[in-house]
């Protein structure tokens, strides 16, 4: 047995204390109203078999046939656009711009300097950092969903991610930043921030590094965290 799997067995006390804590939490959550099905998803996610044909798709949906069909439908709908040079160039640029929330940090700084709001620059920067920590070190580790491809579609030049697939960090950061900025700037800013966020989010399944359902989950997580952060900002007088 390889070293990679040897730590999955007894005889290594303390090696998996976080995993045991999660297991206990799942056991307690299983009996709570409405959480039973979600617990089953979490427990089965790491054991899900490959549900897409082809060696170039080592991922799949551990969430059931309905989600698998949704993911396949999104992929099929995007495929004709992958052969459009202009659209492909925009999506390739958008997915790279979203790495490490770069486009949002730049937009945040430029906007804050232009409006003379350093407090909002700091607030959104910290918020994006916490959002990223929760998604990448929390939710992704919990679900451990495999990506649809390991390196993305060969037609695109993108960074190979190190984290798992669900939810999309790009989509979560985009939703978090856009929701916060629209709250601060008002309805007139919706075309700018919503379009930018949607482009970054959609770019991920476009380049085949995320499932379509990963984007839905990411947007839901990002909006939820933005609403919570908004309450904190208001209490601090930032808005």
Is it the case that residue 62 has pLDDT exceeding 80? no
- Provide long-range contacts, Cβ within 8 A and 24+ apart, for 19-22: 22/142
Averaged confidence pLDDT in the chain? 84
Distance separating alpha carbons of residues 159 and 148, to the nearest angstrom: 15
Q: Given this model, what pLDDT does residue 64 score?
A: 80
Residue 112: is the preceding peptide bond cis (ω within 30°)?
A: no
Question: Confidence class of residue 8 from pLDDT cuts 50, 70 and 90?
Answer: very low
CATH of domain 3-235: 1.20.144
User: Residue 12 contacts by C-beta under 8 Å, 6 or more apart in sequence?
Assistant: 6
Task: Name the residue among 176, 155, 180, 163 with its Cα closest to residue 220.
Answer: 176
pLDDT, tens only, 77-92: 999 999 999 999 999 9
- Provide long-range contacts, Cβ within 8 A and 24+ apart, for 156-159: 156/88, 156/91, 156/92, 156/95, 156/207, 156/208, 157/92, 157/96, 158/92, 158/95, 158/96, 158/207, 158/209, 159/96, 159/99
Q: Given this model, what pLDDT does residue 83 score?
A: 95
pTM summary value: 0.75
Mean pLDDT, range 30-47, rounded to an integer = 54
Mean pLDDT, range 150-159, rounded to an integer = 96
pLDDT, tens only, 212-237: 999 999 999 999 999 999 999 999 99
Share above pLDDT 90 across residues of the chain, in percent, rounded to a whole number: 72
pLDDT, tens only, 173-214: 999 999 999 999 999 999 999 999 999 999 999 999 999 999
Residue, of 239 and 47, whose pLDDT is higher: 239
What is the residue whose two structure tokens read 């232009």?
Answer: 114
Mean pLDDT, range 51-57, rounded to an integer = 34
Q: Given this model, what pLDDT does residue 212 score?
A: 97
20-29, 38-47, 154-163, 165-174: the lowest-pLDDT one: 38-47
Q: Given this model, what pLDDT does residue 123 score?
A: 98
Q: Given this model, what pLDDT does residue 128 score?
A: 98
Q: Given this model, what pLDDT does residue 37 score?
A: 57
């Amino acid at each position: 047995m390889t070293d990679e799997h040897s730590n999955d067995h007894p005889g290594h006390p303390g090696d998996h204390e976080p995993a045991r804590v999660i297991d206990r939490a799942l056991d307690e959550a299983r009996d709570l109203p409405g959480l039973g099905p979600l617990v089953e998803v979490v427990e089965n996610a790491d054991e899900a078999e490959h549900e897409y044909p082809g060696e170039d798709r080592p991922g799949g949906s551990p969430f059931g046939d309905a989600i698998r069909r949704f993911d396949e439908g999104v992929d099929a709908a995007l495929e004709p656009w992958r052969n459009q040079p202009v659209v492909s160039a925009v999506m390739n640029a958008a997915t790279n711009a979203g790495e490490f929330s770069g486009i949002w940090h730049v937009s945040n700084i430029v906007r804050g300097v232009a409006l003379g709001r350093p407090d909002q620059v700091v607030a959104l920067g910290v918020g994006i950092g916490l959002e990223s920590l929760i998604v990448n070190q929390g939710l992704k580790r919990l679900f451990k969903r495999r990506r649809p491809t390991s390196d993305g579609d060969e037609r695109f030049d993108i960074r190979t991610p190190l984290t798992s697939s669900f939810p999309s960090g790009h989509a979560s950061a985009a939703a978090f930043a856009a929701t916060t900025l629209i709250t601060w700037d008002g309805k007139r800013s919706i075309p700018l921030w919503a379009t930018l966020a949607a482009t970054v989010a959609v770019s991920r399944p476009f380049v085949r590094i995320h499932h379509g359902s990963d984007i839905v989950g990411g947007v839901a997580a990002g909006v939820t965290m933005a609403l919570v952060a908004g309450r904190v900002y208001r209490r601090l007088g930032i808005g």
